[in-house]
Amino acid sequence: MKFKSTSILIVIFCSLTFLISCEIPKKDNKRAKPLNILWLVTEDMGPYIPPFGDETVATPNLTRLANEGVIFPNLYSTSGVCAPSRAAIATGMYPSSFGANHMRTTSYTEVTGLPKYEAIPPPEVKMISELLREQGYYCTNNYKTDYQFKAPVTAWDESSPYAHWRNRGENQPFFAVVNFTETHESGLFEPYGFREIETRHYKSGDNNYKWKGFGKSHAKNRMTEAETPVHIPKDTKFKVPPYLVDNEVTQRDLWKMYNNIAEMDKQVGAVLKQLEEDGLLESTIIMFYGDHGGPLPREKRLIYDSGLNTPMIVRFPEKINAGSKFNQLVSFVDFAPTLLSLIGEKPSAYMQGQAFLGAFQSKKPRAYIHAAADRFDGFTDVIRAVRSQDFKYIRNYKPEQGYYLPVEYREKIPAMQELLKLKKQGKLNEIQKQWFRENKPKEELFDCKNDPFELNNLADNPKYRDKLKELRLEMDSWLAKIDDNPNLAEADLVKKLWNNQTQKPITKNPEVKFMDDKVVITCKTNGASIGYKTNQKAKSWKIYSEPFSISKENKILIKAHRIGFLPTKDISIEIAEN
């Protein structure tokens, strides 16, 4: 695979001129080796670590990463829950623009009465990993997917608990994603203990290693509490956010949360050690972030900052601008265009975000971030939000119903059970009762700088009339731009995605021709990705982009898949000597 001659290291230096004043090195005529990109992704993560001002528990590996990198305190997910947020990251599009914002589109059908469906972006949309593969990158995902659609086989070279950059070709650059689940909401459930499966991060690259209890349910695949590593004393007194009850139960959940964060940090260290052992630290852009805000009640699934704001650290080769802070707003929809920008490629026209680093970094910083909340499991709400640097505007399309949704999964958290118990007993204070109001205002406006927990609604305050008008207009503009109709019922959304058909659309079988001793593959489904293998034992599917040669007396395995459609079956083609 040939790589473009763009000097990626020069691109990085150029991309950081907003942070530092330095003379940009002149590009030489030699071909620069492309940089690797490593994403370290944890789950359900608010800014609860020392680099972002919370000194509750030590995170030596993340702290080192921050000291050697740049911290981004104003990163926001597009939703307060994982799957829609991952859809935004994977495509560079807002989930509510292509049917990805209802949490669990393939389940809870008995409750919703809807068929199983997947989000369907426009035909030109590809997963960002596929776009990087097309540029010669070896792309691995270890190993969570959960995008609200099934990834085509062309999306990754590897996507499994064994996926690792170590399996790439010689001198091939990589884009690797490593997911950590220790900080997930379920880590607060009883019985408490770490999942043994997480040792995969210490065994990456060893396909013969067998994990204890692999494939078992979360409850069965755990260490006992006695076996659980303790990173912070259990008698630590934690600061409790005002929307939770400060008692023994909540304190215990906060101990679990911070202890989980410390365990996650330990595993981040294991991956970074592998990178250093391979001699790749100074040729890799490392990016750590969470998939949305925190795991506690009134955090996850909500579009207050507690559900959207997550920390991000980016370490550049040679520790460029180490220890600095980037205060501009960043959204998850910005990740895909930024990845392309970092490898010297212009972001795709369909992407709704903007690059915040690289050769195509936006000249105009973000003025706003946007977010949406719709169905969570079996319960539907319709909320949209826009946030400026200091203010948040929320529009509630179902003001007749309360904020709190009795999501069964969340109610496994002891602190949530405690809130419900004390609510029934009439023992919650006015702040704690806000979440349980029977209805909600049509509009909310919060001064996030002076009211970080978003408790004091200023929408009816004449002093903030201009700010309310500004954010209203911005929301209207955003909804129109991305073609988001919040009033569209989910059943009608499915009809729209399926073009008024009653069944999920199906990718048409690819057609194969042989011209001038080359294989030509086409597919009549607009936007379908075509994958093929000339070696049936190969781990990865190659991306078909142009006719290719193949030796006689061989087989080709072919598969086509448009995102959101049913993929074709594997099609085997025999090549025989004429």
**Cα angle: 95, vertex 501, 94; to 5 degrees:** 5
The stretches of 204-352 forming alpha helices (DSSP H) are: 248-277, 305-308, 335-342
CA–CA separation, 60 vs 138, rounded Å?
29
Three-state SS string over 142-191 comes to ECCCCCCCCCCCCCCCEECCCCCHHHCCCCCCEEEEEEECCCCHHHHCCC
| DSSP-derived secondary structure letter, 506 | B
Backbone angles phi, psi at 90, to 5 degrees: -70, -30
Q: By the 8 A CB rule, do 81 and 300 touch?
A: yes
Q: Of these residues, 82, 139, 448, 523, which one is catalytic?
A: 82
Report, in angstroms and rounded to the nearest whole number, the Rg of the chain calculated over CA atoms: 24
Q: Is 82 marked active-site? A: yes
Cα→Cα distances 419→85, 99, 188, 425, Å: 27, 33, 15, 10
Q: Is the dihedral of CA 306, 309, 315, 321 positive or negative?
A: negative
The amino acid present at 399, given as its one-letter code, is P
Choose among 118, 72, 124, 114: nearest CA to 95.
118
DSSP codes of every residue in 462-493: GGGHHHHHHHHHHHHHHHHHTT--TTS-HHHH
DSSP codes of every residue in 555-569: EEEEEEE-TTSBPPP
Q: By the 8 A CB rule, do 371 and 77 touch?
A: yes
Q: Indicate the SS3 state at residue 527.
A: coil
518: enclosing H helix or E strand = strand 518-522
Q: Which residues contact 143 (CB under 8 A, 6 or more apart)?
A: 159, 160, 161, 163, 179, 200
Q: Which residues contact 161 (CB under 8 A, 6 or more apart)?
A: 142, 143, 197, 200, 211, 214
Cα→Cα distances 254→73, 192, 316, 415, 453, Å: 22, 13, 33, 9, 17
Catalytic residue set: 82
